[in-house]
Structure 1
Amino acid sequence: MNEDVVTRLRAAGCVFAEDEAELLALAVKDATEPSRLLETLVRRRCAGEPLEHVVGWAEFCGLRIAVGPGVFVPRRRSEYLVELALELGRAARVAVDLCCGSAPFATVLASRLANVEVHAADLDAAQLAYARQNLAGRGHIHEGDLYEALPQRLRGSVDLLVVNAPYVPTDAIATLPAEARDFEPLESLDGGADGLAVHRRIAEGAPQWLAPRGHLLIETTEVQAETMLAAFGQAGLKAWIAQDQELEATVVVGRQPGSAD
């Protein structure tokens, strides 16, 4: 291990400097000029850029998700939402990853659910370029504002609607870690005055797109969960809150009524 790299990373505030040094070394091992590239990557990391942006990928549910500058980095807590979706959607025929970013949710669903038609949608063309790379032809990519991006043929047929929309209140953006605040798209973080502006729009429109007994899963915070629970109920969905204390993850789940209800 390059001890100089470890020392520089530690001085820059990287808590897991040894692990990060190993990842940076791996990222340059096949380069034509590895020493020069390593120096560039170390400088970027020491300047505060997220490690995932520097090495070009983030680990998510056991997969490598391609990311880069200007892309929202999937969080480990979001793995809980995906695991819930996999449990609820074992027989899903259509799954949609809304506000997909680099499409980590869609990528995992496409790799672990059999016979599922996967769609991913986002407003950000730059992030959708990474979504295409991650899905690698295993799903459909759509650019546009929430449901407006989706093909009309999907109305009433979505079995799984998974969402990690922005939910940080505008006034709280300044309190985020610099890695997120300075290097990730503001549109992927800022959820409006109480953080739930996009969430409400998603809940309101979901019944038009969900199949009978289809599920909407949306990540939020423990503080915001009750508000979203009420919004799901107002939209006509049977809703509940699911939490994982270890991951500090909170997901509000809604189910579209079916003929058997």
Structure 2
Amino acid sequence: MSVPTSSADLVSRLRAAGCVFAEDEAALITETARDATELEAMTVRRVSGVPLEYVVGWAWFRGLRIAVDPGVFIPRRRTEFLVAEALRVTAPGAVVVDLCCGAGALGAAVASEREVSLYAADIEPAAVRCAERNLAPWQGALSQGDLYDALPAQIRGRIDVLLANVPYVPTDEIRLLPPEARLYEPRVTLDGGPDGLSTLRRVAAGATDWLAPGGHLFVEVSDHQAPVAQAVFTEYGLTADLTVDEELGANVVHGIYLPVGANPVA
């Protein structure tokens, strides 16, 4: 087995394996490894195609080091925009839910910048175990289950901000994803059904039962899905607007539940 004896050798191996940011990855792997044996094992995993976040065990997300275990969806940088949009309307003391939470990155990011009552849920046991570690500093209440079925009954009709980073890749397009996602991340975290919006429809359908009057729902979609997603929100009794970050390639649909006489959450 070839053992990296220098940073240049490590960078060379990563670059030969197709790692575009080989220098940055080499630095992270070297920083994380506890000894030469672990450094080599981590290098072998990365060269074989294992996502860097699984190799080092964490991902950066809005300045937080989020623990990411193998088999758990890796938070994307573009999703930082969804959090930024949600923070605009998140007041201190708000009831915030991170639905389809994965590693809990969105909930952790919001709670790190606002004092909130935080709840999170995911259908995947591995994700819930991972999110427990990431949400512990903010005492987030975590549960496992299918969407709203996982949430405690006492917050029904009381949610001020609902973040739902649902799977939105159309089933037939999963084969086109980069191998790091297609081969290593659970299909349930990627597959959004025939048009990519199956889970989003279920979230929108239940939103008015769970949101407080004036409560907000935020989801991320692709650019070509955005008009349909907005129409889905409207169909289920929410207002709908779209915000875009061109640099990140991020599209966030924002809905507000406004029954007669209600005002948006400040």
> For the superposition of Structure 1 and Structure 2, which TM-score range results when normalised by the shorter chain?
over 0.9
Alignment check: 8 A CA contact 2:120 2:141 kept:
yes
Does the CA contact (< 8 Å) of 1:166 and 1:187 recur in 2? yes
Q: 2:13 matched to which residue of 1?
A: 8
- TM-score with structure 1 length normalisation? 0.96
Indicate if the aligned counterparts of 1:92 and 1:159 stay in contact, CA closer than 8 A: no
Match of 2:172 in 1: 171
Q: How many residues align?
A: 256
Percent identity (aligned): 51
Per-residue CA deviations over 1:143-167 (Å, capped at 9, x if unaligned) read 0000000011111100000011100
Aligned to 2:117: 117
Structure 1 runs of 4+ off > 2 angstroms? 258-261
Q: Which residue of 2 aligns with 1:94?
A: 95
Do 1:92 and 1:160's aligned partners in 2 also have CA atoms closer than 8 Å? no
SS of alignment partner, residue 31 of structure 2: helix
Alpha-carbon separation, structure 2, partners of 1:16 and 1:139: 34
The residue aligned with 1:158 is 159
Cα distance in 2 for partners of 1:193, 1:256 equals 27
SS in structure 2 of the partner of residue 194 of structure 1: coil
Deviation at 1:14, TM superposition (A): 0.4
Conservation of the 8 A alpha-carbon contact between 1:207 and 1:236: yes
Q: Deviations over 1:146-195 (max 9, x none)?
A: 00000111111000000111000000000000000011111000011111
Contact 2:239 2:257 in 1 (8 A): yes
**How far apart are the structure 1 equivalents of 2:85 and 2:234?**
20
8 Å contact 1:215–1:254 — kept in the other structure? Answer: yes
Taking structure 2 as the reference length, what is the TM-score of the superposition?
0.94
Contact 1:54 1:68 in 2 (8 A): no
- Which digits, 9 at most, give the CA deviation of each residue in 1:198-255, with x for residues without a partner? 0000001000000011000001111001111011001111111111111100011000
Alignment of 1:1-261 (within 5 A): 2-28=7-33, 31=34, 34-91=35-92, 93-114=94-115, 116-136=116-136, 138-258=139-259, 259-260=261-262
Give SS of 2:225's match: helix
- Tell me the distance in 1 between the aligned counterparts of 2:226 and 2:204: 13
Unaligned 5+ runs, structure 2: 1-5
Q: Tell me by how many angstroms 1:92 deviates.
A: 5.1
